[in-house]
């Protein structure tokens, strides 16, 4: 005998999603902003994920949040808007001769640089880095979210972090108390 499935009314789904955003919207938006590069693109990414969720609402099994997060990360890992805003190559910052002891302004520069470097990683590497270091998920959990093997996650995490370390080298505190002074290259994009 085939069990008849009663379709869930659209208004009820909307209501559930609104509640989900009310409860967990801040975290989801912050995740989307980290993945997308800026606030506007983050909102667009979250909206695209919601749109996809609405399209597939009948396939949802279990937690809607987990499903939404999976879509969010997979859209990001698939290079959502690959040719658009977040595929831009942002100008790299150069540093000149070390002349000053780094202070907190340099620390802010370092953090800004790391965020920009994050956006230069491949979409998959960026998604893995955000899942690992923002969501604090294990490699197995990341593999589950992205629908890939643990080996792929390990490789992407290793390559992503190495790439970040390499690109961030000019900002990292120099040993023996010698700090780099930061001057910026004019925008070249």
> What's the Rg (C-alpha) of the chain?
20
- What is the Cβ-side half-sphere exposure of residue 144, based on CA atoms within 13 angstroms? 8
The beta strands (E) that lie in the chain are given as none
Question: Which range binds another protein by CB under 8 A, 1-9, 42-50, 69-77, 144-152?
Answer: 42-50
Q: Answer whether 182's CB lies under 8 Å from 97's CB.
A: no
Binding mask 126-165 for another protein (x = CB under 8 A): ---xx--xx-x------------------------x--xx
State which residue, 81 or 159, has the beta carbon closest to another protein.
81
Q: Answer whether 147's CB lies under 8 Å from 78's CB.
A: no
Does 180 bind another protein (CB under 8 A)? Our answer is: no
State which residue, 2 or 83, has the beta carbon closest to another protein.
83
Q: What is the rounded distance in angstroms from the CA atom of residue 185 to the CA atom of residue 96?
A: 10
How many other C-beta atoms can be found within 10 angstroms of the C-beta atom of residue 31? Answer: 23
Q: Answer whether 147's CB lies under 8 Å from 77's CB.
A: no
| Contact pick of 8, 12, 115, 181 for another protein (by CB under 8 A) | 115
Looking at residues 48 to 77 of the shown chain, list those that interact with another protein (rule: CB under 8 A).
48, 50-51, 53-55
Q: What is the rounded distance in angstroms from the CA atom of residue 132 to the CA atom of residue 29?
A: 17
Does 174 bind another protein (CB under 8 A)? Our answer is: no
Residues binding another protein (CB under 8 A): 10, 14, 17-18, 21-22, 25-26, 29-31, 33-34, 37-44, 46-48, 50-51, 53-55, 81, 83-85, 88, 90-91, 93, 103-105, 108, 110-112, 114-116, 118, 129-130, 133-134, 136, 161, 164-165, 168, 172, 183-187, 189
């Amino acid at each position: 005998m085939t069990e008849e499935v009663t379709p869930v009314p659209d208004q009820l789904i909307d209501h559930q999603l609104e509640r989900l955003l009310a409860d967990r919207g801040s975290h989801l938006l912050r995740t989307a902003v980290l993945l997308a590069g800026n606030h506007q693109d983050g909102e667009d990414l979250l909206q695209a994920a919601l749109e996809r969720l609405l399209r597939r609402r009948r396939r949802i099994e279990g937690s809607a949040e987990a499903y939404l997060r999976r879509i969010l990360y997979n859209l990001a890992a698939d290079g959502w808007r690959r040719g658009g805003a977040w595929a831009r190559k942002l100008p790299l910052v150069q540093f000149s001769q070390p002349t000053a002891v780094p202070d907190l302004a340099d620390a802010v520069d370092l953090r800004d640089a790391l965020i920009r470097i994050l956006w230069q990683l491949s979409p998959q590497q960026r998604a893995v880095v955000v899942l690992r270091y923002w969501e604090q998920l294990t490699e197995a959990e990341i593999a589950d979210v992205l629908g890939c093997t643990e080996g792929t996650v390990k490789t992407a995490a290793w390559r992503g972090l190495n790439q970040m370390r390499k690109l961030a080298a000019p900002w990292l505190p120099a040993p023996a108390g010698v700090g780099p002074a930061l001057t910026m290259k004019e925008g070249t994009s």
